[in-house]
Structure 1
Amino acid sequence: MTDRLPGPTKMTDVANADAPQMPLLYKNPVAVSAQHHANVKVKRNRTFRYASKIHAVPVLAEEMPQLQNHYPLVFGPGPSAGVMALLGLRAGENLFLREDFTWAYNAQIPAYIGRYPFILVEMPEDKRLVLIMEEDEEILIRGEGAEGDLPLFKDGKGTKEGEDILNYCVAFNQSARQTQLFCEEVEKLGLLVDQRAEVVTPEGKQLSLSGFRVIDEQKFNELPDETFLEWRKRNWIGLVYAHFVSLGRWQNLIDRLPKGV
């Protein structure tokens, strides 16, 4: 069985109602407002059913040193591709969710998944940043809710919890821009090579995953000294080694395959 990774999605696409493609996980997001979300709260004890059908998710550069311990970290296809964490070996299957849709113990949750259902986008007509969200009833609740749920507004004004969500999204976007710079430089220097993963399940079945790229270690080692020093100043060398280390995590995925696969 052969699967390919999904291609890149621009974060600003969601700000355009006519955009043909939404960012991963988002289907019909709306702007967050006191008028429409006055009594909306975010469930503190969430599940991750919304991520059950994805096998690859974008990651930020700053989280790569932690994620390397759990997931293979690869580069997607295409010139504007970013870094992605592989959550499964087949399309539509996230191997890090338990039966109750909680995340696997001791496995760090990628920031892209933790940010959902919110996202900060730039409105193209005036360059204004707007916080929007997917009105997912499994994450959000209208009314009183349970103890510990996080209100977005109170008495028509934003709450501290709402501000924290906004600040998290701002920090996410800033980190995403830095990640993009790293990926653009890797692409520009021609360090990426196409890769295909061939794995054999405990039952002896062969699975193949394609449509992703990795950094060629020899090409990386042949970088000029001045480039290496510049990358070290920008803390990019550690990102490359995190990527290399993560490529030894394929067994993590194989070990999580359901019996009989």
Structure 2
Amino acid sequence: MASVAPSLPLFYNDLMPLNTRDHANWRARGADKASWLAGVHAVPLTVEEFPQAGRHFPIIFASGDNPVPLALMGLNEGVNVFVDADGTVTQGVYLPAYARRYPFMLAKLQPDTDELSLCFDPSCGLIGDFTDGEPLFDGDQPSDATKAALAFCEQFEQAGQRTQAFLDEIRKHDLLMEGEVSIQPNNGGEPFVYRGFQMINQEKLRDMRGDVLRGWAQSGLLPLLYAHIFSLELISQIFGRQMEQGKAPALQPIA
């Protein structure tokens, strides 16, 4: 029952492969709160989520050589304006698939193979040798709950591959630029300036060749770019929510 990954992604404190030998009688409890999201200000997104997520959050790209798309749920480290400290999520807000798959994920058990296995975070408090919850196995076969978790994780991995193809395309055309946002508080004073993220360079997008834009329109990539661009208008709303909640931002990067 050892962990399988020395370097763990966001939310995960440990990873353990799910198997009948160790977990034959274990169950999974449903979660009415998302405690793992509390205090997390930026959550990875897949491109398929841009249209829906962009109605709720600004969509930005992480800085550096691997510009992962992120849903911005707060402007500062440790601040999530949509999730309370106990994990209560604002009603009606969209939850990124990255957050919804927790505590499960697919991971390599052997570094020299591409095979992925269903794993879970044993520290989550949602999976264990409980008397309540959904069984993880039906005899020596995965239960319906486990099959559903596996299917969701597989869909997420496929969406991740499509997201990488999207990122490869925009990087090929050098469309990303360093972002900067300046917000003037209502009570005056110095503006809050946020950096440390990337965004689409709209000037380069306007100057893109017509045949490239037509191809992007036909493939569905162009609407995704504009979903990102339009979502940036929500940064001021996130700032306003932070002020209303008494979580005044500090002058530091947002990603």
- Which category describes the TM-score, using the shorter chain as reference length? 0.7 to 0.9
Equivalent position of 1:158 in the other structure: 142
The correspondence for 1:246, drawn from 227, 231, 234, is 231
The correspondence for 2:181, drawn from 186, 193, 197, is 197
The correspondence for 1:38, drawn from 6, 24, 27, is 24
Equivalent position of 2:253 in the other structure: none
Q: Normalised by the size of structure 2, how large is the TM-score?
A: 0.87
Q: Quick one: distance in 2 between partners of 1:201 and 1:138?
A: 41
The correspondence for 2:43, drawn from 47, 51, 57, is 57
Q: Is the 8 A contact 1:197 1:210 kept in 2?
A: yes
The correspondence for 1:96, drawn from 82, 93, 97, is 82
Q: Is the 8 A contact 1:38 1:156 kept in 2?
A: yes
Q: Taking every aligned residue pair, what percent have the same amino acid on both sides? A: 27
The correspondence for 2:166, drawn from 171, 182, 186, is 182
**Which blocks of at least 5 consecutive residues in structure 2 are unaligned?**
249-255
Q: Quick one: distance in 1 between partners of 2:235 and 2:112?
A: 44
Aligned residues: 242
**Deviating more after overlay: 153-162 vs 204-213:** 204-213
Matched, 1:126 2:113: yes
Cα distance, 1:165–1:197 mapped onto 2, change above 3 Å: same
Cα distance, 1:203–1:154 mapped onto 2, change above 3 Å: farther
The structure where strand makes up a greater share of residues is 1
* Equivalent position amino acid for 1:124 in 2: P
Cα distance, 1:164–1:130 mapped onto 2, change above 3 Å: same
SS of 2:233's equivalent in the other structure is coil
**Which blocks of at least 5 consecutive residues in structure 1 are unaligned?**
1-14
Q: Quick one: distance in 1 between partners of 2:68 and 2:103?
A: 21
Matched, 1:218 2:203: yes
Q: Normalised by the size of structure 1, how large is the TM-score?
A: 0.85
RMSD: 2.0
Q: 1:198-253 deviations in whole A, cap 9, x for unaligned?
A: 33455657544321111011111111112112212221011011001100111331
* Equivalent position amino acid for 2:122 in 1: E
